Amino acid sequence: MRRRSVLAGIAGAASLGTATSLAGCLSSGSGGSSGQPLAEHPASRNLDGQPTLGDAPMDAEKVIVAFEDPTCSNCERFHTGSFQDVKSEIIEPDSASYVYRPYRFTGRGWATPAIHATLEVTARDPPAAWDLLDFYYENTYSITGGSFADDTRAFLTENTDLDADAVLTAADDRAHQSILETSETDGEAAGVNSTPTFFLYTDGTFKNKLVGVQDLTAFEAGFEV
C-alpha cells in the first residue's frame, strides 16, 4: 500500500513538473479561435501577392497558410520532404490551396532579398515562384549573402523567361516591403514563434495550427479534428 502511494506521489510530482513546464504550450499560441472565418483570421486575412498553389484560398475547401523563411533549416527539411506529399495528396487532388507567407526567423543575411525576389517573381510569373523557392531550399546551406545575387540570377536565367536583373533590382529596392511587413505582423498576431508554422482551414474557417516540420498524417488529422 505504501509502495503504491509513494509511486503515485512520485508520478504526480513528475507530472506536475512536466505539466507546469508544458502549460505554456496549452495556454498560449493557439493561433486564434477555431471556427474563425478565413478572411478575418490573423494568419489568413492578407494573402494577396504571396505564392499560392492550387485553388484560390477563398474558393478552396481546404487551405493551408504556411509561415516560412527561405533560409531556415526546418523549412528546408519540410519543403524538400513532406511538402511534396502534402502537394500530391492534399493540394492537387482536393479542392485545396497552399499559401506561402514570408516570415524572417533565422536572421540570415539573404533572407530579406530572397523574400523580395520570390514576391517579385510571384507578381511576374506565379508558378515560377515555386521553382525559385525550390531552388532556395535545395541550396539553403550553400547560398550566402555574398553569393545570393549571382545564384539567383543564374537560376532565373537558366530556368525561366524572366528578366533576372529586374527581379534582383526589385529585391535590392525592397519592392514588396509592405507585403513582408504585413505578413510578419499577421504571423505575430496569430502566434507564430518559429518557422515553419501552418494554419489549417476547412470550408472557409480556421481549424488548427501546426508547428514544426510535420508529415502528411499531421495535416490530414489537422483537417479532421
Quick one: CA torsion of 23, 25, 28, 32, rounded to 10 degrees? -140
Site string for other proteins, 102-131 (x = CB under 8 A): -xxxxx------------------------
Does 84 participate in binding other proteins (rule CB under 8 A)? no
Q: How many other C-beta atoms are found inside a 10 Å radius of the C-beta of residue 57?
A: 23
Instruction: Supply 210's cell numbers.
Output: 501546426
Q: Are strands 62-68 and 96-102 parallel, antiparallel or unpaired?
A: parallel
Residues paired with residue 197 on neighbouring β-strands, in sequence order: 67, 211
Q: How many other C-beta atoms are found inside a 10 Å radius of the C-beta of residue 11?
A: 10
Does 30 participate in binding other proteins (rule CB under 8 A)? yes
Q: Which is nearer to other proteins, 28 or 142 (CB)?
A: 28
Does 188 participate in binding other proteins (rule CB under 8 A)? yes
Q: Which stretch binds other proteins (CB under 8 A): 73-81, 114-122, 124-132, 134-142?
A: 73-81
Q: Which stretch binds other proteins (CB under 8 A): 28-36, 56-64, 158-166, 167-175?
A: 28-36
Longest dimension (CA), the chain: 79
Calpha distance 130→153 (Å, rounded) = 16
For residue 147, give the amino acid letter: S
CB of 26 to other proteins, least distance (A): 5
Q: Which stretch binds other proteins (CB under 8 A): 120-128, 136-144, 147-155, 215-223?
A: 215-223
101 near 68, Cβ under 8 Å?
yes
Calpha distance 182→121 (Å, rounded) = 18
Calpha distance 2→53 (Å, rounded) = 61
For residue 84, give the amino acid letter: Q
Does 221 participate in binding other proteins (rule CB under 8 A)? yes
Does 204 participate in binding other proteins (rule CB under 8 A)? no
Does 22 participate in binding other proteins (rule CB under 8 A)? yes
Q: Which stretch binds other proteins (CB under 8 A): 44-52, 117-125, 158-166, 216-224?
A: 216-224
Residue of 1, 24, 43, 130 that binds other proteins (CB under 8 A): 24
Does 202 participate in binding other proteins (rule CB under 8 A)? no
Calpha distance 67→100 (Å, rounded) = 6
Does 1 participate in binding other proteins (rule CB under 8 A)? no
Calpha distance 184→43 (Å, rounded) = 9
Q: Which residues bind other proteins (CB under 8 A)?
A: 2-3, 6-7, 9-11, 13-14, 16-18, 20-22, 24-26, 28-30, 72-73, 77-78, 81-82, 103-107, 187-188, 192-195, 208-215, 217-218, 221-222, 224-225
